[in-house]
Structure 1
Amino acid sequence: MTGPSIVVAGGGSAGHIEPALAFADAVRRLRPDARVTALGTERGLDTTLIPARGYPLELIPPVPLPRKPSGDLLRLPGRVRGAVARVREVLSGVDADAVVGFGGYVALPAYLGARGRVPVVVHEANARAGLANKVGARFAEAVAVAVAGSGLPGEQVVGMPLRRSITGLDRVALRAEARAFFRLPPRGPVLLVFGGSQGARTLNTAVAEALPGLVRAGVAVLHAHGRGGQAAPPAPGYVPLPYIERMDLAYAAADAVLGRCGMTTVAEVTAVGLPAVYVPLPHGNGEQALNAAPVVAAGGGVLVEDAELTGERALAELLPLLTDPRRLAAMGAAARASGHADADERLARLVLDIVYRHNLESARGAVGSDDRATEVLRPDPRVWRQQ
């Protein structure tokens, strides 16, 4: 028998694509004979990120999900129908065993196209679920979430699937190499600051104001100020970059983080065991603060509202932490304990188990016997679970 055929729907932004690909990598590790196909559109990063990771990409028409009443809302049903028809073509072509969606405008037609045909599994990355996952969760076989309290029915907390280069990171072993890579001082505390690919004005302003005090305390700063953001004036031990490609080395070089609290950021920072001062976006539905809440409650981080982050507040929060090795170690351990570094494999096992059970039921119906059904489903069903 050929291996399971899994279709993932996580296109659009990196926040949807990366967990989908981390999950796909875990499926391949557990089942080397598995076939994973990604759904995406010509918009966003789909055509760049997905093929680069070695996964076949099937394009469907984009279905933007309007957040407010507009003309786009009136056109939505027609767009959905076209995308759903294309999804069903893909599912048939790859003989799909399951669809796993990660939210966004690719996920909605994927869920609707799979409904009644193959099992659906939903993964919600944020503390508050988006429209696509709210729809998919109504008929999903399982609903996995990164943090509790999504509001989706029957949620199971598995965490956020992450790249193995992050979850398997040995910060101590890479520390010297990482600091040399960024031209940071080999000794002394290092603060890592980042606010997404476009940067964050509040963080950049606070760093500029706090930098003299950090330098006097012997703290070096690795600052990703964003492609459109402003770096602070030059200072000893200050390394500004518009964007950090090697986040694994950035985490290895750092002792603490100052940053936003999107779910991917929180998941990565906790997975590598770094204490953090989290500054949630001041707009949206408040989900960023909720993303960081479990880490803060566990003692692995501090939450500072965007409007309250000044250079003075940054120094007040960071200097006592960065100059106290025992507190750094304790908060780092609390951060790591609050995370889910194995989320990729937990989700993969969940999906593979669902596929196995559905295939077993189908085989039982075809041959009329449990023993014969197990024979049809070779290899040994225990291989599906890879416990």
Structure 2
Amino acid sequence: MNPTWFDFLAIPLGRLLKLIYDFLHTAHIPGSYGIAIILLTLIVRGLLLPLYIKQIQSTSKMAEVAPRIQEIQQKYKGDQRKMQEEMLKLYQETGYNPAGGCWPFLVQIPILFALYYVFQNPLVYVLGKSHQYVRDLIQGKAGYAITQTIIDEAQKLGLDMHFFGINLAQKELVVLPILSAATMFLSIWFASNSQKRFNPQYSQSQSNAMAESINRTMMIFSPLMSYFIALQVPAGLVVYWTVTNLFSILQQFVANEVVYKKLKHKKEEEEKKKQLEKQIKREQEKENLNNGKEENQDGEGSGEDLEKKEQEEREKEEQMRKKELEKLKQQMTSSQGGGKKKKK
């Protein structure tokens, strides 16, 4: 067998598996190879945990940003360039990365390929033999005889690959493929239901409705794919994938109880704060409106007082003119009376 593109991952993973196996085997723990695979799976998933946390944050952001994305799509549906510009502004403003939730899945792909070679060729990747050693060993053999020869040689060198009666270097056609498919289904179903539960806006937008349709499709086809692939690969890889699915369910449960509930509480607090701010704003508007009415009333009252004063002044002037006219009339009457007396 020849070196592969995934040797940079397969070699350290195989060495780590051997280290765990040696510790367990020395302690005379039954099924050491299978338990070592389970522990290796947990270590790998633990190393990927930061990416999973980012995936949770990305999923939460998606639910918040989805309504605004829909608004932009409707507003600029006739202008793709403007739509993309507004989308980019929105992503920069909110810090949302559409590809953020894909990293855990993408990173697992090369790990799966690397582990395939580890379990298929334990002589090289677990026991540290050279590729030339394996080529010399399987010379003249073909097909399944190659795999059986490698397994037999590994067992001669002290590597017991049995786990509850299953040789994890060979294919297992009943129990493990069914477990792989069942855990895959549960993982997708649990993640989908968690999304609906902790993101109420999830089904209220076109993009999230599309995501929900994709989840339903994955819930059917992913377990089937997992089952048929499990029939074709070494049982050790199926153990890894099954434990990975179980670990994903556990991660989702922890996220629901800790992260998502905290995010949900934070959203509720933000909504309460927004409602309170709106209520305060409405009260201020009412107060300003009432103050404006009072000022208008005061203004109208002061106008009436001014008119009253002007009316009083006009009446006073009219009275003064009347008094002056009376005086003039009296003077004229008295002067006419004195002239008549002189004529007599």
Structure with a larger share of its residues in helix: 2
Does TM, normalized by the shorter one, top 0.5?
Answer: no
Q: TM-score, normalised on structure 2? A: 0.24
Normalised by the length of structure 1, the TM-score is 0.22
Which structure shows the higher strand fraction?
1
Structure having the higher Rg: 2
Q: Larger RCO: Structure 1 or Structure 2 (Cα < 8 Å, ≥ 6 residues apart)? A: 2
